[in-house]
Amino acid sequence: MRLAFALAAASLAAACTPASQEAAPEPSARYTFWRPAPVEGATEPSEVIARSTAADWRAVAPDNLLVMELADGKRVVIELAPDFAPVHVANVRAFARAGWWNDAAIYRVQDNYVAQWGNGDAEVALPQGVVRTPPPEYERDLAGLPIRPLGYPDSYAPMVGHAGGWPVAWDPESGKAWLTHCYASVGVGRNLAPDTGTGGELYAVIGHAPRHLDRNIATIGRVIEGMEHLAARPRGSGDLGFYAAERGETPVAIRSVRLASDLPEAARPRYEAMRTESAAFSAYVTGRANRGGSFFNRPAGGVDLCNVNVPVRRAQG
């Protein structure tokens, strides 16, 4: 039996009433029921990682590693995504080299949304090399990306998957792809549209993936270590989670934000991320979509993009 669900006529009745395929409206206005096909006995994600070989991993380049040291001694490390937002990423590197965030703070923590940091004033003199008005780097050409389709439907985009280590969505008709907002994604704070932000104010997602931000904000990377030092912060009681000084809420001071490539070689943290083009990663996705073992009763047979976090580890050896 094939069932079609007409979005345009969404109603209580429509949900459970099969409609003939012939009568279905055009693709832009409907989708076909997708039925998960669970895989019994899929390899557990942790086991996939344990069995992986060195060839399944890539080193994270030191000039794509942003190391944020907080005044309380905690460290947050971010991988940058220059292939998706090159001008914003170049700005972020220039800000880091200029010590822009060395007196900055985490001044906003909104529950189930974002933690945001900066110095709260991007209008002052910008460091050398920072472009004041970057282009809207909200999507890029699909061509040239080593796309690995997720294999399951998405609630926001025609297609989703991974490319070069990043969660992405794309539209085969427009030929455009874009980074998605998942837990730990890092984006560029900005003013009202059409402002695109310089990169001086950044945020990380600390809740359920706010995918409605996709293609509305420049996404420049993701936190690969220390995410809990952002997510476990007290929420701000001001509008949008800003810390309210009048209620004694104190922004968290940042000691420094530097590129790993600007640190002495011996002091650089080094990471590896699983290659999303590898067979190991495909097995990992299958494992995430079909959790098994002695705890689960039934594998889901599906997974959403933001529940497949690309494995990252400290560099081996």
Q: Report how far residue 221's alpha carbon sits from residue 74's, in angstroms, rounded to the nearest whole number.
A: 19
Q: Report how far residue 94's alpha carbon sits from residue 81's, in angstroms, rounded to the nearest whole number.
A: 15
CB of 189 to its own copies, least distance (A): 11
Query: From residue 187 to residue 216, what is the string marking binding to its own copies with x (rule CB under 8 A)?
Result: -----xxx------------xxxxxx-xxx
Footprint (CB under 8 A) of its own copies, residues 224-283: 227-228, 231-235
Amino acid found at 171: D
**Stretch near its own copies under the rule CB under 8 A, chosen from 5-13, 62-70, 244-252, 262-270:** 5-13
Q: Report how far residue 19's alpha carbon sits from residue 4's, in angstroms, rounded to the nearest whole number.
A: 5
Footprint (CB under 8 A) of its own copies, residues 214-233: 214-216, 227-228, 231-233
Q: Report how far residue 158's alpha carbon sits from residue 175's, in angstroms, rounded to the nearest whole number.
A: 11
Residue placing its CB nearer to its own copies in the complex, 249 or 262: 249
- For 182, other C-beta atoms within 10 Å of its C-beta total 23
Query: From residue 17 to residue 56, what is the string marking binding to its own copies with x (rule CB under 8 A)?
Result: -x-------xxxxxxxxxxxx-------------------
Residue placing its CB nearer to its own copies in the complex, 128 or 294: 294
Q: Report how far residue 97's alpha carbon sits from residue 262's, in angstroms, rounded to the nearest whole number.
A: 8
Residue placing its CB nearer to its own copies in the complex, 120 or 301: 301
The conformation of residue 242, written as its DSSP 8-state character, comes to B
CB of 129 to its own copies, least distance (A): 26
- Examine residue 72 and tell whether it contacts its own copies (CB under 8 A): no
Token pair for 60: 């994270």
Q: Report how far residue 2's alpha carbon sits from residue 199's, in angstroms, rounded to the nearest whole number.
A: 48
